Amino acid sequence: MRISLRSRVIALATAALSAGAFLLTSGAAPASAALPTPVSVATAKTYLASLTVATEDRTGYDRDLFPTWITISGTCNTRETVIKRDGTSVVVNSACTATSGSWYSQYDGVTSTDASTFDIDHVVPLAEAWDSGASEWTTAQRQAFANDVTRPQLIAVSASSNRSKGDDDPAEWLPTRTAYQCTYVRAFVQVKYYYDLSVDSAEKAAISSVLSGC
């Protein structure tokens, strides 16, 4: 049985701080570490089958209802933590701003040595979360979701791919780098399952289609 959302959020706050401290003292991470490894295909299929199917409603959504970015460790906020984690040979200054390094966008294969050209994407978009259950959460719960560095929810990708995706779910958008689509939907399902979020019928069908080809 899954634990309650409240219990998860409490655990998340502690885990996020611990994860952040580790990531920021462990040296440069390889590009392959760009996202916490999502659940297996088989587990993702099981999770998907258990998700509630419901029509989505964006009434009342405002991005400011999901506070970002929070301090993870020292001077490093969520964005800076993920930028460091997802890059190669990343060097940061005393303010935790990346001054050098290399980043590879798993979504579209773009490589950059300028961190400012990369965005931090929420695998499950904030608006999508609102549509599928987060409208009923407290601000603290939404903040935990928006800054979750423990689940496969945040990833550094090219700004162009992130903005192309917008608030779309997998029925409307998938990474143009097809080799990453399986990883992407596994992560998407894991996050939705963990946070007890629903899916709509088109979204579920699209995810199922990708998983069947993994």
Residue 200's SS3 state is coil
Q: Mean per-residue pLDDT for 177-194?
A: 98
Q: pLDDT by residue (tens digit) across 141-154? A: 999 999 999 999 99
Number of structural domains found in the chain: 1
Query: What range defines the domain where residue 79 resides?
Result: 5-212
pTM, rounded to two decimals: 0.85
Measured N-to-C along each axis, helices 201-212 and 181-194 cross at an angle, to the nearest 10 degrees, of 130
Residue 21, pLDDT above cutoff 90: no
Tally of residues, the chain: 214
Residue written as token pair 């994860």: 19
Three-state DSSP state, 11: helix
Q: What is the pLDDT of residues 153-165, one digit of tens each?
A: 999 999 999 999 9
Which residue in 114, 86, 112, 87 sits closest to 99, CA to CA? 114
